[in-house]
Amino acid sequence: MTTAALPAFIYGTAWKENATAELTKQAVAAGFRGIDTANQKKHYREDYVGVSLLELRQQGIAREDLFLQSKYTYREGQDHRLPYDPAADFGTQVRSSFANSLKNLHTDYLDSYLLHGPSSGGRLTAADWEVWAAMENLHQSGQAKRIGVSNVGLHQLTELCAKAKIKPQMVQNRCYAVRGWDQDVREYCLANQIVYQGFSLLTANQQVLFDPRVAGIARRLKATPPQVIFRFAAQIGILPLTGTTDAQHMKEDLENGKIQLSGADAEMILGIG
């Protein structure tokens, strides 16, 4: 089975509701080949992503051309539209949610499958370990090519890496400039061959995006400020996500690879945060 290569940019489908299918098609038409979703109808419509994938196949975009990522979400992060029986044990919930994701996305495997977040902000719980064991089994079966965790703290990540049978290959966190762009977790991932995905790079960092110094870099490089932020993220080891709903911005965001920031540029942006 040929699987998609890890993309340089991922399109996030959260909070799109009824526009999810159309926006996913627009993103792929713009050039995105990584799609992030979750089996959590409170914030995502994974089933609508699947609708777009069927239409894209008719346009010649094969399943193997796309990097598809979804997530298992605990009951506390869901609304009433659950993809599993909440009375079931956690391993059964993971298997049910994953099977439902495959059905939603019209595929027999996922390129990446994440725990949407540990069950608490403290140490990993028995529930987390039961969920992770089920995810390890999905990885070993070949149905989940990579497994990982989202919304995770450094202490939780180091514990997971120390004790798990299969270590996480992906981390996806919200990135705040005021926290050094998630410096501790990001640098741990870089040192341990874990792909670090960053989301809310623009929305969580408006003070950087609209800083005159970033505008100055953008003018010098004939780029947009978002392109500068995305290129900065990539250069410090972040695989960026964007959830833009603007077709022009989709194209512009993908073109961030055409610019290169100097070390001084990157240090200056780090300093703004």
Sorted by sequence, the CB contacts under 8 Å of residue 211 that are 6+ apart come out as: 272
Average pLDDT of the segment spanning 80-101: 98
- State which fold the 7-154 domain adopts: TIM Barrel (3.20.20)
| Domain span(s) for CATH 3.20.20.100 in the chain | 7-154
**Reported pTM:** 0.97
Give the C-alpha separation, 153 to 150, whole Å. 9
pLDDT tens digit string along 163-182? 999 999 999 999 999 999 99
Task: Say if residues 234 and 257 touch (Cβ distance below 8 Å).
Answer: yes
Give the C-alpha separation, 164 to 61, whole Å. 36
Res 2 pLDDT > 70: no
Give the C-alpha separation, 136 to 154, whole Å. 20
Task: Say if residues 90 and 29 touch (Cβ distance below 8 Å).
Answer: no
pLDDT bin (cut points 50, 70, 90) of residue 139 is: very high
pLDDT of res. 273: 80
Residue type, 110: L
pLDDT of res. 180: 96
Burial of 191 (0-12, 13-18, 19+ CB in 10 A): exposed
pLDDT tens digit string along 51-65? 999 999 999 999 999
pLDDT of res. 203: 97
